Each structure stands twice: as structure tokens, then as C-alpha cells.
Amino acid sequence: MSSSKVILSGMRPTGFLHLGNYLGALQNWLELQEKHRCFFFVADWHALTTEYEAPGRLKENINEMVLDWLSSGIDPERSVIFRQSDVKEHAELYLLFSMFTPISWLERCPTFKEQIRELEGRELYTHGFLGYPLLQAADILIYRAEAVPVGEDQAPHVEMTREVARRFNHLYRRIFPEPETMLNEYPLVSGLDGRKMSKSYDNFISLSDEPDSIRQKVKMMVTDPGRVRKTDRGNPEVCTVYSFHRLTGGEDIDRVAGECREAERGCVHCKSLLAQNIIEFLAPVYSRRQELLKQEGYVESVLARGAEKARSAASRTLEEVKGAMGL
């Protein structure tokens, strides 16, 4: 992609982020903001579609997540960083889209069917939850975004966004581009226990972990289960510690693998090397965070400025849409 594009992506506010989120999504955003006009936002209305009964820590979650974005280097001077609920234009566009979007599009959306099944016992046959992908289409199209970096699970929503854009352009006039999906390249980040790194498994290293806590967590990582004594030869391919060396290790990787296979390296030593590598890998994030924490109200002020910029882009699109729809 050579020329500069309008890029938009969002995350539901899940609170502080972990290393998997960083490698899977944020690193991608960091690259994109170098070249493109980027909009990055917190999808707080989307959070309410499933958490409406217990919004609880919504505000804290937003704050923690945005602080992680900023600590990672997402730059408010380059990118527009904002909170969805601050830009009411999303809601108005969503309402207008709802006039011509067939319910069948929403009912057959794979994420809708899946979540209804998975979150059994929760009342999710709500208007808001059914409309989730349509709100997402409004998030994207209100900035006439041309590309949307997301994980694979979100691809059906971007697909539906293209259908909504097509239908609008066909019914009224051509206002919207059909945005492409840019799949995040997800390096498989396993958790401390070898399963996928996830907040719901409580097996993660977070971006905001202190060095000491990183050391503790690395100590808990599972190693090659077949290697009982230090004199046993190990197999790094089945070892969680080694999979992390691969992500952060640089020149240590081959040496670690070789010494493990020859039983020349003990797991305790291997883990302390890894902890050190992760701490160094996250050091820039850590030190930026310490700086940002000194500025009281910083996240709020970034979000306020971002909302203003977002609103001005969003309201232009909305005026055109209203005109096209006869309002």
C-alpha cells in the first residue's frame, strides 16, 4: 500500500492490554500511523451491547486501555484517538442505516449466531446486540475509511460494512468507499500455561506489568513436560518459554534451542534470560507510561481533542448523507 489511506480501527474497552494484544494489533497500528490517516477509537457503545447489565468498570477500562495505546506509541499528534460515545454522529448514521438494512443481514451474521450460543444464559436477543455490526459499519463509513485492520473474527463485520456501503451508494448516491479488511498478522502468542494468551484464562503478561511481576510470571511458565531433570535433553518446540524467546529473543533464539536440545541449558536459567528479554522488549512502553502517568488527566485530554477532530470529519459525511436521504 503506497499512497496514504484513511484507516480506522477500534477496540472494545477491556482494560489494560496484554502482550498478545500488543503483538497482534497494536504493533500493526503503530506501523500504519507512520503512513496513513488513522482513526483509532474505543468502542464503548459496543461494550454495552453485551455488558449492559453490569457496565461496572467501563470508565476505568477505557482509561487503562487508552493509556496502553499511548504508552505503546500510538501518537495523538498523528492519529485521531477518541471514544465512540463522544461522537454522536456515529449513532445518527447508524439510525439512518437501519432504515434500509434488511434484518436478515444481521440475523445471519456468524458472530451473532455464535455469541448467542456461547453466552448462553445471557439475554442477548436485544435490538442493540442484533445491530452490533451495523453500528460498526457506521463507525467505519462515517470517516469513509478505506481499510480496517482487524482480527479474523471481525472480518464478517467489515464484509457487512461493504454491503451497507453498496446499498447506500445504489439507493441514493455514491458517498462511501467499500473498505477493505486488513487482517492483523497474529503471531500466535501463547499464555503462561501454553494455551492462547487471554484475559479470561488469567495467563497473560500485561503491557503494564512491573519488571518484578514479569519475572514472577515467567517463573510460572510451563516448559517441555518431557524434560524432568536438567540432564534430560529438551524439545524447545513444545516449550512455552521457547515460544516466547522466539517473539522477543533476537540472537538468543538459536543458542537457546541448541543448548536445550543438548541438555546444556537449565530451565531456570533459560527463564531468567527470557524475563530479561521481555523486560527489555517492553522497556520503551514502560518508560513512556511512567512519563504519561505524571501528567494528570492526560488520557482525558487526548480523548477530548481526538473527539473534536473526529466530530469534524464525521459531521461532514453526515451532512452529505442527510442530503442524499432527503433530510
Could you tell me how many residues make up the chain?
327
DSSP at 249:
-
Residue 174 cell numbers, joined: 455514491
Does residue 227 touch ligand SF4 according to CB under 6 A? Answer: yes
Does residue 242 touch ligand SF4 according to CB under 6 A? Answer: yes
260, interface contact from ligand SF4, ligand TRP, none, CB < 5-8 Å by kind: ligand SF4
Rounded Cα–Cα distance for residues 6 and 178 (Å): 12
Interaction pattern, residues 12-51, with ligand TRP; x per rule: CB under 6 A: x------------------------------x--x-----
Phi-psi domain of 253 (left: phi exceeds 0; alpha: psi -120 through 50; beta: other): alpha
Compute how many other C-beta atoms are within 10 angstroms of the C-beta atom of residue 182.
Answer: 18
> What are the start-end ranges of the H helices in 172-266?
211-220, 240-248, 252-261
Of the candidates 63, 67, 46, 47, which has an alpha carbon nearest to the alpha carbon of residue 55?
47
Distances (CA, A) of 211 to 38, 204, 250: 32, 14, 19
242, interface contact from ligand SF4, ligand TRP, none, CB < 5-8 Å by kind: ligand SF4
Does residue 150 touch ligand TRP according to CB under 6 A? Answer: yes
The site that binds ligand SF4 (CB under 6 A) totals a number of residues, namely 14
Scanning residues 258 to 277, which ones bind ligand SF4 (CB under 6 A)? 260, 265, 267, 270-271
90, interface contact from ligand TRP, ligand SF4, none, CB < 5-8 Å by kind: none
Q: By CB under 6 A, name the one of 9, 33, 223, 317 that touches ligand SF4.
A: 223
140, interface contact from ligand TRP, ligand SF4, none, CB < 5-8 Å by kind: ligand TRP
- Residue pair 90/41 in contact (Cβ under 8 Å)? The answer is no
Binding site for ligand SF4 (CB under 6 A): 223-224, 227, 234, 236, 239, 241-242, 256, 260, 265, 267, 270-271
